[in-house]
Amino acid sequence: MGGKYRITGNTYPRMRRPRHRRKLVLSVTAAVVALGLAGWGTLQVIDVFTGGDGQANAAGKPKACPSRSASTPAKILPKPAAIKVNIYNATPRSGLAKAAADELKKRGFAIGKVDNAPAAYDKKVPGTGMLLGGPKAMNDSFSVLATQLPGATQKTDTRKTADIDLIIGTKFKAFSTPAAAATALTALTAPSPAPSSC
């Protein structure tokens, strides 16, 4: 070879390209910045669609879950034996009040008057029945008796006594089964757990 690449002696010139460290550093820096911006942009898009807000999250602290002790305590209802029920027949079918009284007596209820419905309700109760009693009965005695006759309407009057009236309606066929009534009563008295936000 001649010219400036002329070989003399035992040494050979190095023919590799000169190093460009500056370009390499700039390329790596640009790639890191691009990845960072892409990640930040992705987080912003996720926040927009999920409603995330760093300020609303109370500095990112997780919310404490309510403990089991925060549940509503079990409701205490009277036993059937403590509920005196007057049974009135508001249907054209004879003997229905006595049959209903016998069945409720078997289920532990105290039975009071058994008769035809007064004129104000005779043949005027279109559903399965109506529970009629004083204001206090609405919160406890009605709930217990309603487990025996689901769908019965409930109405309060001005009486001061604790007894309640069961007025049998035209759609009455039978009381719920003892097992179904017991299940419904258990559900009423079970403590309700506090709503969880976790």
Instruction: Quote the pLDDT of residue 125.
Output: 94
**Which residues lie below 8 Å from residue 138, measured CB to CB, with a gap of 6+?**
154, 156
d(CA 91, CA 126) in angstroms, rounded, equals 9
Instruction: Quote the pLDDT of residue 73.
Output: 66
Instruction: Quote the pLDDT of residue 60.
Output: 52
d(CA 155, CA 133) in angstroms, rounded, equals 7
Say if residues 169 and 89 touch (Cβ distance below 8 Å).
no
Instruction: Quote the pLDDT of residue 176.
Output: 94
Instruction: Quote the pLDDT of residue 76.
Output: 86
Sites in the chain below the pLDDT cut of 70: 1-20, 45, 48-49, 51-74, 191-198
Instruction: Quote the pLDDT of residue 138.
Output: 82
d(CA 6, CA 13) in angstroms, rounded, equals 9
Per-residue DSSP letter, 68: G
**Residue 80 to residues 133, 134, 185: CA-CA distances in angstroms?**
15, 17, 11
pTM of the model: 0.60
